Amino acid sequence: MSRARSMRVRRGKKKNTGFDVDITSLLDILTILLVFLLQSYNSSGVIINVPKEISLPVSKSESINNFGVNVQVSKSQIWVNDTEIVNTNDPEKEQRFDEGGRRIVPLYNELVRLKETVKQAEKLSPEVKKFQGVVNLVFDKSLKYNYLKRVMYTCASAGYKEFKFVVMSESN
Amino acid sequence: MIRIPSTKRKAKKEEKLNLTPIMDAVFIFIFFLLMSASFLKIYEIASDIPIISDQEPPKDQKNPLALTLTAETNSITFSRGIPSRSFKTFKRESNGEFNYEEIHQFLVDLKKQHVDENTIIFEPSGDLTYEEIVKIMDAVRMLNKTDEAIYKKNKDGIDEKVKELFSKIIFSNLMS
């Protein structure tokens, strides 16, 4: 009788034995990961891609980036929201100017198209964020103002009134 | 009576999985990835396009500063007033750079006399690089922590610390 009880107790004990995993090293990894992620945390939520052809200038500015259309300009290419619009090395995407060489036609067309898309969405739903006219300008630091002026003029004539020059922090 | 050893007991004996080597490998792998990743901190400098107005200028302001910065290849000139007249010029130094510290200090002194002014009209020359333009804008826009504190009266008559220099930059020669 007592022997049978003892067997039951033993059987019960075996069932309760759980799979014991040592998670100490995992927690070490997560702690280090958390520190790195917190250090690189950006509260604005804006993601701006900087193409490898563009080298940003360093600035003391600490203003957080805003949502807007991203215009990225390198020595030979122009992208709008990461889509290549102008490439001087590609005959199909060559740079064309009008208004006495002040306006870049492909860039103007793309910016107007994006503006119209937002405005149409505004009409369809009142919850859609209204067109702000903000353009994030990602320029290569070696570009001359003569060329930047054309890009800025094109943005202004397409209806984008707020320029945000994207720069790199000194702490990088 | 001799009992046969239980085969059941042997079968149920579970080996504890040793995860330490794999954790070590993952740790080194993550550390390597984090070291090779580039977390760039990017910020912005705001500017508005110039608005052309045919309206009469407001008459309540007695003596508007109307500060203008003209950046040429070899010099930076500050002008003020309407009509604009130049009153300070900085030459490019022998090392090929402008003395941005000196320009900044000059603007801090000017700000002390015009604490309510935030706007500066910027006219860069066509052959200046974007990097130089950003350096000039940095010297013009912000007060550094090492700068002398500037105070102004707020609408309740309480002294308030001025945080920015001439932060509202307008590019005047965009349309030309």
Chain A CB contacts of B125 under 8 Å are 145
Q: Are residues A6 and A81 in the same domain?
A: no
Same domain (yes/no): A15, A64 = no
Instruction: Find which of B31, B34, B43, B144 to mutate to test the A interface (most A CBs within 10 Å of its CB).
Output: B43
Domain CATH number, residue A156 = 3.30.420
The dihedral formed by the CA atoms of A137, B65, B146 and B157, expressed in degrees to the nearest 10: -110
| Beta strand ranges found along A43-151 (DSSP E) | 58-59, 69-73, 77-80, 83-87, 97-98, 103-104, 134-139
Residues A34 and A83 in one domain: no
- Chain B contacts in chain A segment 89-128 (CB below 8 A): none
**CATH T-level assignment (fold) for domain B62-171:** Nucleotidyltransferase; domain 5 (3.30.420)
Query: What pLDDT does residue A89 have?
Result: 85
Question: Is residue A45 one of the residues assigned to a domain?
Answer: no
Encode pLDDT of A58-79 as tens digits.
Answer: 998 888 888 889 999 999 999 9
Same structural domain, A105 and A76: yes
Which structural domain range is residue A35 located in? 2-39
Do both A69 and A16 map to the same domain? no
Which pLDDT band holds residue A80 (cuts at 50, 70, 90)? very high
Whether A142 and chain B come into contact, CB under 8 Å, resolves to yes
> Structural domain boundaries of chain B?
62-171
d(CA A31, CA A104): 49
From first to last of its 176 residues, chain B has per-residue pLDDT tens of: 566 665 555 556 667 778 778 878 887 887 777 777 666 778 888 887 776 556 665 665 567 788 999 999 999 999 998 788 888 999 999 898 999 999 999 999 999 988 888 899 999 999 999 999 999 999 999 888 888 888 888 888 888 888 889 999 998 877 76
Please list every residue in chain A whose beta carbon sits closer than 8 Å to the beta carbon of residue B173.
149
Cross-chain CB nearest to B134 (options A20, A28, A167): A167
Which residues does chain A have within 8 Å of residue B141's beta carbon, measured at their own beta carbons? 61
Q: Check whether residue A35 and residue A62 sit in a common domain.
A: no
Does residue A52 belong to any structural domain of this protein?
no
The three-class DSSP label of residue A8 is: helix
Counted residue by residue, chain A has a size of 172
* Number of separate domains in chain A: 2
How far is Cα of residue A12 from the mean position of the Cα atoms in its chain? 57
- Same domain assignment for residues A91 and A19: no
ipTM of this predicted structure: 0.76
Is residue A35 located within the same domain as residue A81? no
A103 found inside a domain: yes
